[in-house]
Amino acid sequence: MRRTIHKKAKNKASQSGNSFFRILFWVFCATVFLWLTWILWGTTGTTGPAGKYVYNALKFVFGTSAYLIPLFLIYWLYRSVKYKTLAFFTLFFGMFLTLSGISILISFLKVNFTQSSLAGGVLGDFLFKHLTGVAGKSGAIIIAIACIFLGIHILVAIPWKETIVKCWGLIKEDYVAWDQAKANLKQKIAERKEEEKQNTPKEETEIPAEETTKKVPPKIMRATAEMIKTPQKIKQEETPKAENKQDDTEENTENKQTKEYILPPLDLLRAPEENNLCGPSDEEIAKATNLLETTLKNFDIHASVTGVAPGPVITRYEIKPDAGVKISSIVSISNDIALAMKARGIRVEAPIPGKDAIGFEIPNEKPIMVTVREILQDPSFINSKYKTTVVLGRYADGAPATSVIEKMPHLLVAGATNSGKSICVHTMIASILYRAKPDEIKLMLVDPKRVELTFYEGIPHLYDPKVPCEDADIIKDANGAVKSLQALVKVMEKRMKIFEIAKVKNIEGYNKWAVEHNEEKMFFIVVIIDEMADLMLQTKAAIEDSVQRLTQMGRALGIHLILCTQRPSTNVITGVIKANLPSRIALQVASKIDSRVVLDSNGADALLGKGDMLYLGISDPKPKRIQGSYISEEEISKLTDFWRAQGGPDYPIQIKPETNPNQGTEGLGSSAEEIISALTLILERRRVSQDLLKAHFGSSARATNILSVLEMKGFITKPEGSNRWEIHFDLIESALNELKQKQQQPDEEF
């Protein structure tokens, strides 16, 4: 037992000793091989005297083939470590055969190329000389190649049979595939020739040879060449008819005092150029068409331009793709087409609604201004039966663009600075002033910027439900806008009760009923807010609540809203407001995100500015591109002066003052009880915020109103640069006692 244990221990010791010496041997060999590699492949200046001596000796014996020695040594070291076999004889014999064969070939090359830097060494020259003397040069080369193959086989043990069989199989498979593809190609060519033979007689009988070679030019649809020159006689013929209709209604209301108004003439506006050609000339269109078709051919897209619709600022080219061409392949190269056409930007409409073509809207080199007058004297505007018809401009194909506020029924206008948003609003207001009299349409104008809508101060169309008609003016502050909108909500509720009594559904039905029953007719109310972002920043909750109620219920009651903003973000155009504004106008915006906020799609970010807009109507599946019409400040001044000369705002009082003793006139309807409750709450909580008041009173609008009252009375203040309220508790305590005393008096209000 002890002997066996002693033997096992002795064997383990011997094995560990052997493994140690083997590792030491491998490390020694690896060091020597790396040193040889550095000598042969490294820089000669860093090898030292021993390295130079070994390098010269190897180069002298083996010549240029000596550079391969490190590869053989490293390969041998790898196999000895992996398989734990040394095989010195196999290594040196295989390496000697391989290097000898390579040296012989190098010596042969040196004989033929004397200027070469190759050298076969002493071994190569000696073997090549004696082999050439015995077997000739060709025999020496064959023997050298045989030595190389034999040496590599000894070193690597290549399975030549399997390698040759596998290579032959690959060559055979490639040949079979090539032969089959060649047969398929011949078959397709034969089938193609048979089809051409069968179709050639039919084509010759149906289409003459001359027509097949002749290219059909695209159809140029100039929709506005004659409309610009529409005479003013249509307007003069139509206006007496409208006045006769008004005379008929006035005969039914003899007991009521009505004021006669005269509609302004078109001479106040600048006339369009009579010889103006809308869009580029026919020669320019032909060049652009050829360039567009050539660009498509360069991308291997078979399509042709079938129609051209010139517009004042852009021209739409209708491209009809051939059978089998995908729309996406044409849309994807829109940037390349813009580069070829040297255009600032291209908008693609794929496909055009109602047509089997794709529309490429390319800007004109010489844009033409669209004036308000040319649309006002167009039959599409004159023959409209709606008083709320407004001018927008011209469509991309040049046709006049008008719309009806009653059908919108509410509109959102959004665009970046200098995109033409204010001009668009002025155009719509001018359209109303040219078409409707003050007793037919009233304008409630809100201008927080205080500079855009000041032209219309004092015109008889102005309306503000919270003040008498003699005090009606442009609303310029946020608190005044909140009060006016809340008062307009009360007007809407009053109209609803009147409609319920008259048993009518809309304002047209009520006006007919009023004529039959000798009652006063109702007028349309158009609310225009020039900058919605400023109102939402100051009084978001109250504005949002009022706008929501007016947009949801005001359509049938003749109340319509036009909201404008230059910051189309979700903080301004909230989900509640956006859901109740089905019609939208997007001018040029800064990003695709803003475009999606306004239109729910991209496109507005690629507009050209200066009135270039996308109009999405309530029934339109896609936005329509329109070049907005332009009206100058001088024209607006002439128009407003004409109306101011006929008098100021005039309308009956629609809301009587509240007679509730608990209801105050200050603070947007905040009662004394609410103020006392709010001050008591502030004293208890020692803080104030809109969320706190909203949780207590249950309404964000009421909380906003109470905050405004407390700030105006000086109970709370907000320093500049701070977002926190400062509370004056001493004033609150003294005011609570006074308010409680006033509350005991029934006829006294806060």
CATH label of the domain that carries residue 289: 3.30.980.40
Instruction: Return the CATH number at 734.
Output: 1.10.10.10
Residue 413 in contact with residue 577, Cβ under 8 Å? no
Strand 583-586 versus strand 411-414 pairing type: parallel
- Amino acid, single-letter form, for residue 616: L
Q: Is the pLDDT of residue 16 over 90?
A: no
Residue 395 in contact with residue 620, Cβ under 8 Å? no
Say yes or no: 522 and 585 in one domain. yes
Q: Is the pLDDT of residue 341 over 80?
A: yes
Question: pLDDT band at 232, cuts 50/70/90?
Answer: very low
- Name the residue with higher pLDDT: 333 or 62: 333
**What count of other Cβ atoms lies within 10 Å of the Cβ of residue 494?**
15
pLDDT at site 642 = 93
Say yes or no: 504 and 630 in one domain. yes
pLDDT at site 749 = 37
CA distance 514 to 253: 10
Residue located via tokens 């004036």: 371
Do the domain assignments include residue 145? Answer: yes
Among 132, 158, 184, residue at a domain's last position: 158
pLDDT at site 218 = 75
Coarse DSSP helix, strand, coil percentages of the chain, rounded to the nearest 5 percent: 55, 10, 35
CA distance 257 to 267: 31
Report the pLDDT averaged over residues 401-415: 91
For 710-721, what is each residue's pLDDT tens digit?
Answer: 877 778 887 766
- For 492, the 3-state DSSP assignment is helix
**C-alpha closest to that of 356 among 292, 413, 306:** 306
Say yes or no: 356 and 476 in one domain. no
User: Which stretches within 207-269 are classed as H helix?
Assistant: 209-213, 233-252
Residue 284 in contact with residue 260, Cβ under 8 Å? no
579: Cβ–Cβ under 8 A, 6 or more apart, which residues? none
Q: Is the pLDDT of residue 227 over 80?
A: no
Question: pLDDT band at 666, cuts 50/70/90?
Answer: very low
- Name the residue with higher pLDDT: 250 or 383: 383
Region of 369 please: left (phi>0), alpha (psi -120 to 50) or beta.
beta
Strand order in the sheet with 524-529: 400-404, 389-395, 624-628, 612-616, 583-586, 411-414, 559-565, 524-529, 441-446
Say yes or no: 269 and 285 in one domain. no
CA distance 675 to 681: 10
pLDDT at site 562 = 94
Owning domain of residue 319: 279-363
Say yes or no: 292 and 384 in one domain. no
What's the token pair of residue 123? 């071994």
Say yes or no: 285 and 384 in one domain. no
CA distance 462 to 445: 7
Do the domain assignments include residue 43? Answer: yes
Is the peptide bond between 719 and the residue preceding it cis, with omega within 30 degrees of 0? no
CA distance 625 to 396: 6
Question: pLDDT band at 358, cuts 50/70/90?
Answer: confident
pLDDT at site 212 = 41
Q: Is the pLDDT of residue 402 over 50?
A: yes
Report the pLDDT averaged over residues 661-676: 54
pLDDT at site 260 = 82
**C-alpha closest to that of 73 among 26, 116, 22:** 26
CA distance 171 to 77: 36
Say yes or no: 562 and 481 in one domain. yes
Question: pLDDT band at 462, cuts 50/70/90?
Answer: very high
**What count of other Cβ atoms lies within 10 Å of the Cβ of residue 132?**
18
pLDDT at site 340 = 85
Say yes or no: 53 and 119 in one domain. yes
pLDDT at site 7 = 52
**C-alpha closest to that of 65 among 125, 111, 133:** 125
pLDDT at site 660 = 40
What is the total residue count of the chain? 750
Q: Would you list the DSSP string of 605-650?
A: GG--STTEEEEE-TT-SS-EEEEE-B--HHHHHHHHHHHHTT-S--
214: Cβ–Cβ under 8 A, 6 or more apart, which residues? none
Say yes or no: 137 and 84 in one domain. yes
| Range name among 182-196, 388-402, 417-431 with the lowest pLDDT average | 182-196
Question: pLDDT band at 680, cuts 50/70/90?
Answer: confident
Do the domain assignments include residue 182? Answer: no
Do the domain assignments include residue 525? Answer: yes
pLDDT at site 630 = 92
pLDDT at site 443 = 94
Question: pLDDT band at 136, cuts 50/70/90?
Answer: confident
Say yes or no: 510 and 568 in one domain. yes
Say yes or no: 355 and 380 in one domain. no
Cα–Cα distances in angstroms (integers) from residue 619 to residues 343, 387, 407, 558, 623, in the given order: 32, 20, 10, 20, 10
Instruction: Return the CATH number at 422.
Output: 3.40.50.300
The mean pLDDT value of the chain amounts to 78
Say yes or no: 443 and 568 in one domain. yes
Do the domain assignments include residue 654? Answer: no
What's the token pair of residue 591? 């990003």
For 144-187, what is each residue's pLDDT tens digit?
Answer: 787 877 777 777 666 667 777 778 778 877 777 787 787 778 77
- Looking at the 3D structure of the chain, how many domains does it have? 4
Alpha carbon of residue 129 to chain centroid: 81
- Amino acid, single-letter form, for residue 347: R
Do the domain assignments include residue 683? Answer: yes
pLDDT at site 405 = 92
Do the domain assignments include residue 251? Answer: no
**C-alpha closest to that of 433 among 357, 337, 526:** 526
Among 347, 363, 379, residue at a domain's last position: 363
For 254-307, what is each residue's pLDDT tens digit?
Answer: 334 456 889 999 989 988 776 555 677 788 888 888 888 888 888 888 888 888
Among 158, 186, 202, residue at a domain's last position: 158
Do the domain assignments include residue 536? Answer: yes
